């Protein structure tokens, strides 16, 4: 691992090392994001060295300003099209609007992205409607996946977004999501939590403090 110059600017004209060629072939053949651990195994090295190799590859793709880019997403790597060319190629891949995500799906996906891992009942509490069907469709599209079970009565299933979700919005990690102002339920009259709902949330391990009754103050 010695002799690697991590400060050097690599271009498409530089000769590939054998390790870079292996890593590039692995990601191309996979067709899906490949974790750093998997790349390290293929290179028969450790994650630190594999990261150096991948940094060099990303520099190459970025410097050539071509139609293909190599991006890092949540400790995984994948090839994607250059965002600067999306308008030019959009017509080719355009599909009827019925194949896109519905408003309900987008709403549910946003709730999961900002609150994950989250249970189905939590999602439905925020949306105010049953979300079973929407949740199933998001899982089928590979945007949401199961994330274990909550350590609470009934052990409800937890859900989180996937790497494919990050890839679809062009972000490397969830930390890049824009911040949202948190709503304090006990200060929003239209969102008051009833005793019944509070008990349901507590069953999912979420402690909700009900707003005080003005008549009791």
Looking at residues 1-28, what average pLDDT do you find? 71
| Mean pLDDT value of segment 149-177 | 86
- Rounded Cα distance, 87 and 80, in Å: 15
CA distance 126 to 121: 9
Looking at residue 2, what is its pLDDT? Answer: 40
pLDDT of residue 216: 42
Q: What percentage of the chain exceeds 70 in pLDDT?
A: 72
- Tens-digit pLDDT profile for residues 121-158: 889 888 888 888 889 889 988 899 999 888 888 888 99
Is this model's pTM higher than 0.85 or not? no
């Amino acid at each position: 691992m010695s002799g690697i110059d991590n400060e050097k600017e690599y271009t498409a004209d530089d000769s590939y090392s054998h390790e870079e060629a292996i890593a590039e072939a692995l990601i191309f053949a996979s067709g899906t994001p490949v974790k750093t651990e998997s790349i390290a195994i293929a290179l028969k090295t450790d994650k630190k060295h594999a990261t150096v190799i991948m940094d060099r590859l990303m520099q190459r793709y970025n410097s050539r300003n071509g139609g293909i880019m190599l991006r890092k997403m949540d400790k995984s790597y994948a090839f994607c099209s250059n965002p600067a060319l999306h308008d030019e190629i959009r017509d080719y891949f355009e599909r009827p609007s019925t194949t896109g995500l519905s408003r309900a799906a987008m709403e549910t996906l946003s709730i999961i992205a900002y609150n994950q891992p989250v249970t189905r009942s939590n999602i439905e509490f925020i949306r105010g409607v049953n979300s079973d069907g929407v949740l199933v469709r998001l899982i089928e599209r590979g945007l949401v996946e199961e994330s274990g079970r909550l350590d609470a009565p009934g052990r409800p299933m937890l859900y989180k977004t996937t790497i494919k979700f990050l890839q679809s919005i062009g972000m490397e990690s969830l930390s890049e999501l824009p911040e949202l102002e948190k709503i304090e339920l006990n200060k929003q009259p239209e969102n008051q939590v009833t005793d019944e709902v509070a008990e349901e949330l507590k069953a999912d391990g979420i402690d909700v403090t009900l707003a005080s009754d003005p008549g009791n103050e």
